[in-house]
Each structure stands twice: as C-alpha cells, then as structure tokens.
C-alpha cells in the first residue's frame, strides 16, 4: 500500500511541475481584467488530458511489466511450453498497447 501511495505522490508532483508548460500568454488587446490562463476552461481541458495520458502510460507500463515478469517466470518453470507462453505474451502485450493508444487519443481529444 505504501508503494502505491509513493507512486500517486510522484504522479501528483510531476503533473504539478508540468502545469506551467500549458500556461497561455495574454494577447495584445487583453487588459488586466482578463481571466488568468490557469483558470480558463481550455487550460483545464489540457491539464486533464495530460494527467489522463500520464495515468494511461503508468498503467500500461505496470501491466506489460507484470505480464512479462509472469511469462518469464512460467517459461523458467516449464521450458517445454516456452514457445506457447511467448506467443500468448506477445498477443497480450499487443492488446494492452492497443488499448493504451486508444486511451491516449481519447485523453488528447478532450
């Protein structure tokens, strides 16, 4: 549980550091009464998409890592079926990557 809390804290810190990258400069005609860039709806959509994309990448990395670790362990225990395990592992990794790409596109369209 402590490991999960450390990962969540790391994600929050990294996303907080990335927020200034989405800051928008004022246009030439805008005065002091204009809303700050950090409160505009467009900024919030971009920040949400960036946070979602980060979570998608973390989830995919953890999923493929666990898949590969389990597959290598099972190949070590039963070397005679290593070919079947490897084929199943590659298919599962491809499916995870496909879902990851779809989720990233959804996050960036936001």
pTM over 0.85, yes/no: no
Residue-wise pLDDT tens digits, 54-96: 889 999 999 999 999 999 999 999 999 999 999 999 999 999 9
Which of 26-30, 42-46, 93-97, 103-107 ranks highest by mean pLDDT? 93-97
Give the CATH fold of the 55-110 domain: F1FO ATP Synthase (1.20.20)
3-state secondary structure the chain: CHHHHHHHHHHHHHHHHHHHHHCCCCCCCCCCCCCCHHHCHHHHHHHHHHHHHHHHHHHHHHHHHHHHHHHHHHHHHCHHHHHHHHHHHHHHHHHHHHHHHHHHHHHHHC
């Amino acid at each position: 549980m402590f490991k999960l809390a450390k990962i969540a804290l790391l994600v929050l810190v990294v996303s907080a550091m990335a927020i200034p990258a989405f800051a928008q400069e004022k246009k030439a005609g805008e005065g002091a009464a204009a809303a700050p860039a950090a409160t505009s709806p467009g900024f919030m959509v971009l920040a949400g998409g960036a946070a979602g994309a980060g979570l998608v990448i973390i989830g995919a990395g953890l999923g493929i890592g666990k898949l590969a670790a389990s597959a290598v362990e099972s190949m070590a225990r039963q070397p005679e079926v290593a070919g079947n395990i490897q084929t199943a592992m590659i298919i599962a990794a491809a499916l995870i990557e496909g879902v990851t790409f779809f989720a990233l596109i959804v996050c960036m369209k936001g």
